[in-house]
Structure 1
Amino acid sequence: MSFHKEKLRVLFNRRRGSLSLRERTSASRQICRKIITLHFFNLSQNLAFYKAYNGEVNINIVLTKAQKMGKNCYLPVLHKQCLIFYSYTRNTLVKNHFDIEEPDVSQEKSIYLNNLDLIFLPLVAFDEKGHRLGRGGGHYDQSLKSLKNQYLKKPVLIGVSYECQRINKIPVERWDIPLDLVITEKTIYQFS
């Protein structure tokens, strides 16, 4: 199955890469406008974001808006094979070995996943059931597995994607956790 997933990653990374900078910028703005009007967004206090990489949807507008609204904003930091979410302060970002900006862990505080209200996730592709195909490192899967515990509060998982990244079906592994929503420039997909 991982071979099939890898072929899908190549295909959908190419598809995303074929979008011009103008198309990506326009789509990112449309997606940000949709996010800001979301009921979930406006009610949430603790939100986890990501820094766009390799043509992913840029949601920095939402991050800035959330901070202006007094919300607590977090970004993932790669630690071993897992992501730990640390508070976001623009002045304390450093680049990791993938060249992605993340908080300086010596200066920021982390938060437990079950204390987050929303997590925005980048993706390579998504399907009609809310399954997400990520970059292939398994970092989000490894980090989110604790959410399978039915006794913990689960944050709303929101995939952020271009419409061209939608597929009918993604091969699913037992550890995969489906998204609650996916937001594209065209629409908002709600699952379960």
Structure 2
Amino acid sequence: MKTRDVLRQEIRYQRSLLNADQQAEQSLLLSKRLIKEKVVKGVKHIAIYLANDGELNTQPFIDWCWQNSITVYLPVIHPFSKNNLLFLKYTETSILVKNKYGILEPKLNVQDIITVAQLDIIFTPLVAFDPYGNRLGMGGGFYDRTLSAWHDQYQQNKHAKPLPVGLAHDCQKVNTIPFESWDIPLPKIITPTTSYNFDI
């Protein structure tokens, strides 16, 4: 079995081979698929991320959310709690700043923070996923920490919120991911061509 670091390198490289036209086409396909998803119907608060490092561009879907009165939140690296996330409201007038990884995030304002429990959906980035819903991230553990309380509740109640949904290119699916005890699998992952549901 390949190590997690080798897998990250390989999949990030494959993702980087997609040219600008392919990226734009795949992003629009993803947005169209998300709009039709049952889990999106009737939601009020979603967390999502801005594309980085060859990830699918989420802005077309964000634009649709804004037009349909769905409040959008972006992850912000917690200023005091190491490797933890906050979620801040994202609007067309939000001031964005680069975090330590060079990723744009809303400028910190406590009035814009929402708790994880108040979110309907958290759309999570990932580097790779397998047929069992296992997710390989960039290695910081940000989303595993964010979703740990949800995962505990989900074992008792399959309708526990927020619903975490991974977003990925089709090329990011692999046969198997080396699993660690702290990893949080996802019940749903969506690509431009397919919606996967997993019994986790």
For the aligned pair, the TM-score class normalised by the smaller chain equals: over 0.9
Which residue of structure 1 aligns with residue 36 of structure 2? Answer: 37
CA–CA distance in 2 between the matches of 1:90 and 1:53? 19
Task: Tell me if 1:189 matches 2:192.
Answer: no
Which residue of structure 2 aligns with residue 171 of structure 1? Answer: 178
Q: How many pairs does the alignment contain?
A: 191
Structure 2: give runs of 5+ residues left out of the alignment: none
**What is the DSSP-based 3-state SS (H/G/I as helix, E as strand, rest coil) of the residue aligned with 1:149?**
helix
Question: Between the two proteins, what is the percent identity of the paired residues?
Answer: 37
Task: Tell me if 1:115 matches 2:118.
Answer: yes
Tell me by how many angstroms 1:178 deviates.
1.4
CA–CA distance in 1 between the matches of 2:148 and 2:23? 31
Q: Please tell me the residue identity of whatever aligns with 2:127.
A: V
CA–CA distance in 2 between the matches of 1:57 and 1:46? 21
CA–CA distance in 2 between the matches of 1:27 and 1:76? 23
Which residue of structure 2 aligns with residue 132 of structure 1? Answer: 135
Tell me by how many angstroms 1:90 deviates.
3.2
1:155 corresponds, among 156, 162, 168, to 162
**What is the DSSP-based 3-state SS (H/G/I as helix, E as strand, rest coil) of the residue aligned with 1:159?**
strand
CA–CA distance in 2 between the matches of 1:135 and 1:25? 23
Q: How does 1:1-192 map onto structure 2 within 5 Å?
A: 4-79=3-78, 80-91=82-93, 92-106=95-109, 108-150=111-153, 153-192=160-199
> Any idea what the Cα deviations from partners look like across 1:53-75, whole Å, max 9, x if unmatched?
01101111111111111111100
Contact 1:78 1:84 in 2 (8 A): yes
Tell me by how many angstroms 1:112 deviates.
1.4
CA–CA distance in 1 between the matches of 2:38 and 2:104? 28
> Any idea what the Cα deviations from partners look like across 1:67-104, whole Å, max 9, x if unmatched?
11111110000113111111112332222121211111
CA–CA distance in 2 between the matches of 1:121 and 1:40? 15
Contact 1:181 1:191 in 2 (8 A): yes
CA–CA distance in 1 between the matches of 2:109 and 2:161? 27
Contact 2:117 2:161 in 1 (8 A): yes
CA–CA distance in 2 between the matches of 1:74 and 1:118? 10
**What is the DSSP-based 3-state SS (H/G/I as helix, E as strand, rest coil) of the residue aligned with 1:141?**
helix
> Any idea what the Cα deviations from partners look like across 1:27-67, whole Å, max 9, x if unmatched?
11101100011111122111001010011011111111111
CA–CA distance in 2 between the matches of 1:27 and 1:108? 35
Contact 1:160 1:184 in 2 (8 A): yes
> Any idea what the Cα deviations from partners look like across 1:105-126, whole Å, max 9, x if unmatched?
1264211111111111111111
Tell me by how many angstroms 1:175 deviates.
1.7
CA–CA distance in 2 between the matches of 1:75 and 1:87? 6
